[in-house]
Amino acid sequence: MSDFTTSDGTRIHYKDWGSGRPVVFSHGWPLNADAWDGQLRLVAENGFRAIAHDRRGHGRSDQPWQGNDMDTYADDLAQLIEHLGLEDVVLVGHSTGGGEVARYIGRHGTGRVAKAVLLGAVPPQMLRTDSNPEGLPVEVFDGIREGVRSDRSEFYRNLSESFYGANRPGSSVSQGERDAFWLMSMQAGLKAAYDCVAQFSETDFTQDLERFEGIPTLIAHGDDDQIVPIADSAHKAARIVGNATLKVYPNAPHGLTGAFEEAFNADLLDFIKQ
């Protein structure tokens, strides 16, 4: 595991495993690169170079007061790619990380990008607005902000339930996985975690998705996602992105676990090998 320093002096921590075509993973809120460990190992064992960073304010990266916004997240990703001299990259983003991938392409283009994967991703926009009437009301996100501000430890403990679908009949998610979610979440700085709520909920990624310019894109989503509802995310994103394959996982939650994770892993490996 290594670090690099961005142009504004923020130290970003990342993992870099294996060799071959680079596959760069962006994690969801409020987690860190460890959330991708299973997929990092999978692709590295299959002849790819697996890379994942802790977003600024999260995990082992610095926790600056400034820069907790989607444009800076995307610029940090661009600087990581440049720092490592990566070309022909497969970008993979889950949840907020999917927004980070979309904004990276929107700001920096597809010159270094071969393919993209959006898993349970927030684009095109989560918040209900006049132009996005199917979105979630602002009160949902105000509740998240209040949970983070007032008692984030208990909030994250409770959030793990809907994140992994533990509140659904037949759920097989272990307490250990839910505990790991809590542990990663608690490593995110309070300021970064709070600020990021507006970024993943209010940002309109429509123009970013339009800039994918035909690169092969896998849009994968569980149809029982209680965090990022599929109707206002994956279904819309697939219509905007020109060369997209939509993969829907029946009864799957937001977080990767159990049979859902196994199915996604197989689809991810098949997609990046093509």
Task: Choose the catalytic residue: 58, 94, 221, 254.
Answer: 254
pLDDT given for residue 213 in this prediction: 86
pLDDT given for residue 22 in this prediction: 98
Please give the structure tokens belonging to residue 90.
């497969």
- Residue 165 CA to residue 169 CA, distance in Å, equals 9
CB 184 within 8 Å of CB 32:
yes
Q: Which residues pair with 136 in a beta bridge?
A: 127
Q: Which residues contact 217 (CB under 8 A, 6 or more apart)?
A: 115, 116, 117, 118, 241, 243, 244, 245
Q: Which residues pair with 120 in a beta bridge?
A: none
Task: Choose the catalytic residue: 34, 195, 208, 225.
Answer: 225
pLDDT given for residue 1 in this prediction: 67
Task: Choose the catalytic residue: 95, 185, 201, 233.
Answer: 95
Whether residue 201 lies in the annotated active site: no
pLDDT given for residue 65 in this prediction: 98
How far is the CA of 245 from the CAs of 71, 121, 156, 264, in angstroms? 26, 14, 32, 13
Which portions of the chain are predicted below pLDDT 70?
Answer: 1
CB 148 within 8 Å of CB 193:
yes
Strands 49-53 and 11-17: antiparallel
Q: Which residues contact 86 (CB under 8 A, 6 or more apart)?
A: 22, 24, 51, 112
Whether residue 235 lies in the annotated active site: no
Continuous segment of H or E residues that includes residue 37: helix 37-45
Whether residue 94 lies in the annotated active site: no
Can you list the domains of the chain with their CATH numbers?
2-273 (3.40.50.1820)
Q: Which pTM was predicted?
A: 0.98
Identify the DSSP state of 53. Answer: E
The torsion region of residue 48 among left (phi > 0), alpha (psi -120 to 50) and beta comes to beta
